[in-house]
Amino acid sequence: MIDFDAFYKITYGLYIVCSGNKIKGNGFISNTVFQVTSEPPRFAVCCNKNNFTAGLIEKTKAFSVTILEQETSSDILGRFGFKSGRDFDKIEGMSVIFGQSGVPIVLNEAIAYLECNVIQTVDTGTHMMYIGELIQSVLLDNPKDPLTYLYYRQIKKGTAPKNAPTYINKAKQEIQKTAGSFKKYRCSACGYIYDEEAEKTEFKDLPSDWICPICGSEKSDFIEV
Amino acid sequence: MIDFDAFYKITYGLYIVCSGNKIKGNGFISNTVFQVTSEPPRFAVCCNKNNFTAGLIEKTKAFSVTILEQETSSDILGRFGFKSGRDFDKIEGMSVIFGQSGVPIVLNEAIAYLECNVIQTVDTGTHMMYIGELIQSVLLDNPKDPLTYLYYRQIKKGTAPKNAPTYINKAKQEIQKTAGSFKKYRCSACGYIYDEEAEKTEFKDLPSDWICPICGSEKSDFIEV
């Protein structure tokens, strides 16, 4: 038996993993960043092979990790989590420094960052795992708690993008029927659920310029569930 | 610059990772369990090469992961986190079932469990990373939140064992002096700090049969810091 709900009990944080350089940099939201050895400190990140950033890491042989604050805005999560760097420049307009390896490091809504040189690459199937030796780690002057995947799911009602290792295909699962006359609407881009009962506002009454609080998609991108 | 405090902003859970069989099984407390691909679901665990369980995973080619509840007792954390299976049978007396691969699965204070067959082994230096394909995952009838490393450190005042990827050698760091007349005592086995000011009881006034709340070491194993 495989019970997907058991997966949700595994604890993760949420990070921006970046690579590239000053000319072309990119990043994505990752929940799989973890320390694999203590001496020397080495960290691993997982990256879908289709992610634009995967190609940049392969080329640059380095990556940065931005540890996000708990109340990270939907602008940052939408920009880095639900859009592709093939389509637009995610780094432009962000507060960015460049590390010792030349990779961009995003400082928006950050509490700390790491920078690593890739020393091992592991093909795990749909994803690549990059193991990096730490070049630098910096704790920023931001006392907020780190954003966890649980907080993002429970409080921000977010879901994993299709390319995440933890993505669960909801179409394969039975959709729960809502009791009463309240309806729910799903963002077709990121899976965020707008629940009329919880929000105390009917979806049709939202202003036409209302956008998905997670990924910034337009109201017309929502489908009734 | 390497700021070790930045490491603490990475989010982890805490788990028991087990391997072996009915005749000889063993497990250890791990904070590095994570999903690496979604289709098919594959999970990775990191294990210090010196861990007794590492040898069992190499032989059995399978492992189980018990996802622990938030209020996991110091008995479980001490038994699996700060003692070696070379010295005593950690599995004996526990509530255990055996998985499809034959590995023990600990059910004490558990909210869910996974079982995986190892399909890849990665040498990351001091640690081995085992990547396993999921055989089964079960959500148990225990509604509690999962135990996180942050909760363990902040609420339970626990530290990482020497073999953990996230171990930080405190002897290398400056020990903060306590202001006033309150003293602090460190457990020489697990590093737990008894803080007289926070506990409102002088260490010398604790009963002689008092034990470390994390690993169960005796009062005499504490050293003033």
A4-20 confidence digits (pLDDT tens): 999 999 999 999 999 99
Can you tell me the mean pLDDT for A21-32?
Answer: 95
CB burial of B141-167 (b: ≥16 within 10 Å; e: otherwise) equals eeeeebbbbbbbeeebbbbbbebbbbb
B3-54 confidence digits (pLDDT tens): 999 999 999 999 999 999 999 999 999 999 999 999 999 999 999 999 999 9
Output the pLDDT for position B173.
Answer: 53
**A198 Cα to chain B: minimum distance (Å):** 22
pTM of the model: 0.81
* Chain A neighbors of B42, CB-CB under 8 A: 124-125
Q: Which residue of A has its CA nearest to B10?
A: A13
Question: Which range among A150-159, B64-73, B181-190 has the greatest average pLDDT?
Answer: B64-73
pLDDT band with cut points at 50, 70 and 90 for residue B213: confident
* Alpha carbons A22 and A104: distance in angstroms, whole number: 7
Distances (CA, A) of A104 to A61, A62, A172, B171, B222: 13, 10, 38, 34, 45
A47-58 confidence digits (pLDDT tens): 999 999 999 999
* Chain A neighbors of B166, CB-CB under 8 A: 35, 38
**B210 Cα to chain A: minimum distance (Å):** 32
Using the predicted structure, report yes or no on whether residue A175 has a pLDDT greater than 50.
no
Write down the mean pLDDT value for chain B: 90
Nearest by CB to residue B11, choosing from A6, A11, A124, is A11
**B169 Cα to chain A: minimum distance (Å):** 9
Contact A95, A101 (CB under 8 A): no
Name the DSSP class of B51: S
Cβ–Cβ below 8 Å for A9 and B139: yes
Residue A124 in contact with partner chain B when CB distance is under 8 A:
yes
Share of chain A above pLDDT 70, in %: 95
Output the pLDDT for position B192.
Answer: 84
Residue B41 in contact with partner chain A when CB distance is under 8 A:
yes
The better pLDDT of the pair B188, A66 is held by A66
Give the N- to C-terminal CA distance of chain A in Å, as an integer: 27
Output the pLDDT for position A173.
Answer: 52
Using the predicted structure, report yes or no on whether residue A179 has a pLDDT greater than 80.
no
- What would the two tokens of residue B157 be? 């005042």
* Alpha carbons A144 and A109: distance in angstroms, whole number: 10
Residue B111 in contact with partner chain A when CB distance is under 8 A:
yes
Output the pLDDT for position B171.
Answer: 61
Residue A107 in contact with partner chain B when CB distance is under 8 A:
no
Output the pLDDT for position A73.
Answer: 92
Using the predicted structure, report yes or no on whether residue A177 has a pLDDT greater than 70.
no
Contact B214, B74 (CB under 8 A): yes
Output the pLDDT for position A64.
Answer: 98
